[in-house]
């Protein structure tokens, strides 16, 4: 949800900014912009700004058309936007600017939402600031300008600290001032921001993907922290080499804080397409490996046990826990629903999946022995973070099920199990979902073994779980076949996805996947629910996707298939390999290997991911950057 990249150092800023914007584009892509500060003789500090509606490539074309004049400086900030306040227009694109008394120009990029922006805007207008956009960000830029006092030794840093004490809401910001051409100031609260420590300079970004090609050494800012970064090219501080002063970190109250330098756990090849047409396809196809990595060292088939190092300190509390609250949004919520079945079925512990956005505002009851499990790929989803905080404040123990290492959620939980599926770039979540379900399965078995399950049944599950990566490898081989079958029905605008038991949340996930990237209207629901209303929708040729694998409710699902068939619906079925009966009813069958019911979601979702991918491509959509969406939703 908006991407920020900023640079100060010995090299030219613009190439670093543009490369970073392209890497961060998945976070928001309705408009983009850069501001670069000049160091040219006679022009030191002049700030050039370029903004454009559309993708980063449009901004790049515009910069090219201008011949790069004014953009060869060594300090710059850049932004790719997902609109929250104000329409998608050039005027609303970042950077935004403000002018201080005395003429200093402030440029600022922002990710997050300033909640009290309307009141601040009125105040600033009274003081003579003229606004050119509808955004909350411009308010922040003008507030920094208003509070800028050139007589302060570190005027920009001080003005940013003062401004942030006035605002409520969430922010990650990077700020420059033409009067301080070697200084970049950045800060965060509620939205992620990382400072990469490169050779002779600093790269600041919303996530590691915009940093990793420059350095792997980084500092992750905490909430309410402000960092001052000073650097420059040769001959700008009496030195004949590029220079960089040590980074200076404070709170917004100007209390000095020490920072920890860590290594980014990210390889460049993980964030590149590697020959695939889209990140979504790459991420679907790499699931045999990502699930293998997720399970590695944790599924001990020899001793028949689950080893989760991250839980050692809390294992007794978890085993004694009385209730689990599994929370997340979108795909992560669907994983939570599967967790609900897994925890109750395998560990015999009460569990409820709840939308984080609902949980946080409903005055939830947290009894003694409650554990909240925030589920998230990014670890930064605003609603999930707020639900976590609410449950913690009411005394719940917290256990993260998160992918991004070092993310806010990972740091805010008492313990956790990382997904370890690698970076997910495609906006449609695929490998993270399967990673989340795999982690929840391991958690259920971990607790089940200590509460109710016999050693032999855990052993049996683990043998099957261990084979899941190979099964997924076999399923993704069906991609071409799934594409052909999808082509037969891709022109239909309304679809249903139906499943029972463990496969009911998979039906929800299949419908979400289809609608978010192909813009086809799709609904998922328990197969039995169809008869209570939605059956009225079924007409000749309407695609209805059933998850109809062998298991305790197979016969019931087959009855539901017959009901749809009788009304002319077109049946696409995910079924168990070797089930020839199903072919009598289904127009297309996507087979998956036979595994115990609790493990089925790990397999049954894969054909649905491929189906939605091919549907979107066949309809000519930008699969990795669907309209109106962004990868990480850091606003409510
Ligand atoms: O980063 P998170 O897992 O917390 O994100 C939650 C949802 O925003 C996310 O799963 C969303 O629903 C995806 N676009 C679905 O593909």
The distance in angstroms from the start CA to the end CA of the chain is 11
Over residues 208-222, the pLDDT tens digits come to 999 999 999 999 999
Nearest CA to ligand 1 atom 6: 329
381 in contact with ligand 1, CB cutoff 6 A: yes
* pLDDT band with cut points at 50, 70 and 90 for residue 103: very high
Distance, in Å, from the CA atom of 54 to the CA atom of 48, rounded to the nearest integer, reads 20
Nearest CA to ligand 1 atom 12: 330
The residue among 409, 405, 408, 410 whose CA lies nearest residue 420 is: 405
Distance, in Å, from the CA atom of 416 to the CA atom of 263, rounded to the nearest integer, reads 20
* Pairing mode of beta strands 588-592, 543-548: unpaired
Q: What is the pLDDT of residue 463?
A: 96
Nearest CA to ligand 1 atom 7: 330
* Per-domain residue ranges of the chain: 3-268, 273-466, 476-622
Q: Does domain 3-268 have CATH number 3.30.1330.10?
A: no
152 Cα: distance to centroid of ligand 1 (angstroms): 44
Q: What is the pLDDT of residue 269?
A: 87
Q: Quick check: 67 pLDDT over 90?
A: no
CB distance 472 to 606 below 8 Å: yes
H or E element, residue 81: strand 75-81
For the chain, the average pLDDT equals 94
516 in contact with ligand 1, CB cutoff 6 A: yes
* Pairing mode of beta strands 570-576, 543-548: parallel
Token pair listed for 12: 């030219």
Which atom from ligand 1 is nearest to the alpha carbon of 378?
1
427 in contact with ligand 1, CB cutoff 6 A: yes
- Contacts for 123 with CB less than 8 Å, ≥ 6 apart: none
Which atom from ligand 1 is nearest to the alpha carbon of 429?
16
357 in contact with ligand 1, CB cutoff 6 A: no
* pLDDT band with cut points at 50, 70 and 90 for residue 27: confident
Average pLDDT over residues 280-287: 97
* pLDDT band with cut points at 50, 70 and 90 for residue 387: very high
633 in contact with ligand 1, CB cutoff 6 A: yes
Judge if 273-466 and 476-622 fold alike in CATH terms: yes
Average pLDDT over residues 580-606: 96
Q: Quick check: 481 pLDDT over 90?
A: yes
Q: Quick check: 141 pLDDT over 90?
A: yes
Average pLDDT over residues 13-39: 93
Per the residue annotation, which of 2, 50, 294, 401 is the catalytic one? 2
Confirm whether 322 is a catalytic residue. no
CB distance 193 to 225 below 8 Å: no
Q: Quick check: 615 pLDDT over 80?
A: yes
* pLDDT band with cut points at 50, 70 and 90 for residue 344: very high
What's the Cα-to-Cα distance from 38 to each of 61, 143, 203, rounded to whole Å? 21, 23, 18
Q: What is the pLDDT of residue 45?
A: 78
Average pLDDT over residues 484-509: 97
517 Cα: distance to centroid of ligand 1 (angstroms): 13
429 in contact with ligand 1, CB cutoff 6 A: yes
Distance, in Å, from the CA atom of 173 to the CA atom of 171, rounded to the nearest integer, reads 6
- DSSP helix/strand/coil, 580: coil
Q: What is the pLDDT of residue 132?
A: 96
Q: Quick check: 74 pLDDT over 90?
A: yes
Confirm whether 631 is a catalytic residue. yes
Over residues 302-338, the pLDDT tens digits come to 889 999 998 988 989 998 999 999 999 999 999 999 9
Q: What is the pLDDT of residue 28?
A: 84
Check residues 441 and 314 and name the one with the higher pLDDT: 441
Question: Mutate which of 28, 82, 330 to test ligand 1's pocket (most atoms within 8 Å of Cβ)?
Answer: 330
520 Cα: distance to centroid of ligand 1 (angstroms): 18
Which atom from ligand 1 is nearest to the alpha carbon of 428?
16
Per the residue annotation, which of 189, 282, 513, 631 is the catalytic one? 631
Q: With the C-alpha atoms ordered 111, 115, 116, 122, is the resulting torsion angle positive or negative?
A: positive
Q: What is the pLDDT of residue 201?
A: 96
Q: Quick check: 58 pLDDT over 90?
A: yes
515 Cα: distance to centroid of ligand 1 (angstroms): 14
CB distance 152 to 160 below 8 Å: no
In the CATH scheme, what is the code of domain 476-622? 3.40.50.10490
376 Cα: distance to centroid of ligand 1 (angstroms): 7
Over residues 443-455, the pLDDT tens digits come to 999 999 999 999 9
Q: What is the pLDDT of residue 86?
A: 82
| CATH homologous superfamily for the domain 273-466 | Glucose-6-phosphate isomerase like protein; domain 1 (3.40.50.10490)
Polymer length in residues for the chain: 636
Lowest mean pLDDT among 29-43, 183-197, 423-437, 592-606: 29-43
Q: What is the pLDDT of residue 632?
A: 79
What's the Cα-to-Cα distance from 560 to each of 112, 334, 516, 521, 554, rounded to whole Å? 45, 22, 26, 21, 10
340 in contact with ligand 1, CB cutoff 6 A: no
631 Cα: distance to centroid of ligand 1 (angstroms): 7
169 Cα: distance to centroid of ligand 1 (angstroms): 21
- DSSP helix/strand/coil, 203: strand
135 in contact with ligand 1, CB cutoff 6 A: no
Lowest mean pLDDT among 32-36, 224-228, 230-234: 230-234
């Amino acid at each position: 949800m908006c991407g920020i990249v900023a640079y100060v150092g010995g090299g030219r800023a613009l190439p670093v900014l543009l490369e970073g914007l392209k890497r961060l584009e998945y976070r928001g892509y309705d408009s983009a912009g850069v501001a670069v500060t000049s160091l040219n003789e006679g022009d030191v500090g002049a700030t050039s700004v370029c903004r454009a509606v559309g993708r980063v490539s449009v901004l790049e074309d515009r910069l090219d058309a201008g011949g790069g004049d004014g953009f060869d400086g060594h300090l710059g900030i850049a932004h790719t936007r997902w609109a929250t306040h104000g329409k998608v227009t050039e005027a609303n694109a970042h950077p935004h600017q403000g002018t201080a008394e005395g003429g200093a120009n402030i440029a600022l990029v922002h990710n997050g939402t300033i909640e009290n922006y309307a009141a601040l805007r009125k105040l600033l207008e009274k003081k003579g600031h003229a606004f050119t956009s509808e955004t909350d960000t411009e308010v922040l830029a003008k507030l920094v300008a208003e509070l800028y006092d050139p007589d302060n030794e570190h005027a920009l840093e001080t003005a940013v600290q003062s401004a942030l004490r006035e605002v409520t809401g969430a922010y990650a910001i990077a700020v420059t001032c033409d009067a301080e051409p070697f200084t970049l100031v950045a800060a965060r609260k509620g939205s992620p921001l990382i400072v990469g420590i490169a050779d002779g300079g600093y790269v600041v970004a919303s996530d590691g993907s915009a940093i990793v090609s420059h350095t792997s050494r980084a500092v992750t800012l905490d909430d309410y922290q402000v960092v001052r970064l000073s650097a420059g090219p040769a001959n700008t501080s009496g030195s004949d080499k590029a220079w960089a002063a040590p980074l200076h970190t404070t709170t917004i109250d100007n209390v000095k804080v020490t920072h920890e330098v860590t290594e980014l756990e990210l390889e460049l090849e993980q964030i590149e397409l590697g020959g695939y047409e889209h990140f979504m396809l790459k991420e679907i196809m790499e699931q045999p490996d990502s699930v293998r990595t997720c399970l590695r060292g944790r599924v001990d088939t020899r001793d028949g046990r689950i080893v989760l190092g991250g839980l050692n300190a809390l294992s007794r509390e978890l085993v004694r826990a009385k209730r689990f609250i599994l929370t997340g949004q979108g795909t992560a919520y669907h994983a939570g629903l599967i967790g609900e079945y897994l925890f109750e079925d395998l560990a015999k512990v009460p569990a409820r999946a709840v939308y984080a956005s609902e949980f946080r505002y409903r005055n939830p009851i947290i009894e003694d022995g409650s554990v909240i499990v925030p589920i998230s790929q990014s670890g930064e989803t605003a609603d999930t973070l707020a639900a976590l905080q609410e449950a913690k404040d009411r005394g719940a123990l917290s256990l993260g099920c998160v992918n991004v290492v070092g993310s806010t959620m990972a740091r805010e939980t008492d313990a956790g199990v990382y997904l370890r599926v690698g970076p997910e770039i495609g906006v449609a979540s695929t490998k993270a979902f399967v990673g989340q379900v795999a982690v929840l399965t391991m958690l259920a078995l971990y607790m089940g073994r200590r509460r109710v399950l016999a050693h032999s049944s855990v052993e049996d599950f683990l043998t099957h779980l261990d084979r899941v990566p190979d099964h997924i490898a076999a399923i993704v081989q069906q991609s071409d076949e799934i594409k052909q079958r999808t082509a037969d029905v891709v022109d239909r605008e309304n679809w249903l996805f139906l499943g029972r038991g463990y496969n009911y949340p998979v039906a929800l996930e299949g419908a979400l996947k289809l609608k978010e990237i192909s813009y086809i209207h799709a609904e998922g629901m328990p197969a039995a629910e169809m008869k209570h209303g939605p059956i009225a929708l079924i007409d000749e040729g309407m695609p209805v996707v059933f998850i109809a694998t062998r298991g305790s409710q197979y016969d019931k699902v087959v009855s539901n298939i017959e009901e749809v068939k009788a009304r002319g619906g077109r049946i696409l079925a995910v079924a168990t390999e070797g089930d020839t009966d199903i072919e009598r009813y289904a127009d297309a069958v996507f087979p998956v290997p036979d595994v115990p019911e609790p493990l089925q979601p790990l397999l049954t979702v894969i054909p649905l991911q491929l189906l939605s991918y091919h549907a979107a491509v066949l309809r000519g959509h930008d699969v990795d950057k669907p309209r109106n969406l962004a990868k990480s939703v850091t606003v409510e």
